[in-house]
Amino acid sequence: MKMVTFSGFCAGPENGDGPKGPSDGGSAAVLERQVEKTKTPPLFQVLLLNDDFTPMEFVVVVLQKFFLMDLDKATHVMLTVHREGRGVCGVYTRDVASTKVELVSNFARMHQHPLQCVMEEA
């Protein structure tokens, strides 16, 4: 969405010393046109990657705990990752996505699983 605003500035010599305009007896007007561009922030997918060692049950717990999925949804996403190599857990702004990646990675490391969680622009 683009917004256009005008900031008007009018000045004129109050004591009559300044330059005189051709028709207004000495006042000057400046109009500035400003175009404000509002950009929507980029979104990032958070993904889990498959590996051969992380237990399926652990991945389901991760999806429930950090991505607020119910058991059915978490099982479905886990099986997608298992079969296809990767799967989307959610789409977030940069900071939220980055925090999820950190939390999941730390949780997996804490439990000594090699589970990889990454983010990429949507």
Q: d(Cα 29, Cα 10) in Å, to the nearest integer?
A: 4
Tokens standing for 79?
């099986």
Minimum CB distance to ligand TYC, residue 42 (Å): 24
Minimum CB distance to ligand TYC, residue 54 (Å): 4
Given the complex with ligand TYC, which of 18 and 55 has the nearer CB atom?
A: 55
Work out whether the CA dihedral 74, 79, 84, 86 comes out positive or negative: positive
Cβ atoms 66, 40 nearer than 8 A? no
Minimum CB distance to ligand TYC, residue 87 (Å): 7
Cβ atoms 121, 88 nearer than 8 A? no
Q: d(Cα 67, Cα 61) in Å, to the nearest integer?
A: 10
Residues that bind ligand TYC (CB under 6 A): 48-52, 54-56, 59, 78, 81-82, 115
Given the complex with ligand TYC, which of 59 and 119 has the nearer CB atom?
A: 59
Given the complex with ligand TYC, which of 74 and 92 has the nearer CB atom?
A: 74
Minimum CB distance to ligand TYC, residue 98 (Å): 19
Cβ atoms 87, 98 nearer than 8 A? no
Given the complex with ligand TYC, which of 46 and 81 has the nearer CB atom?
A: 81
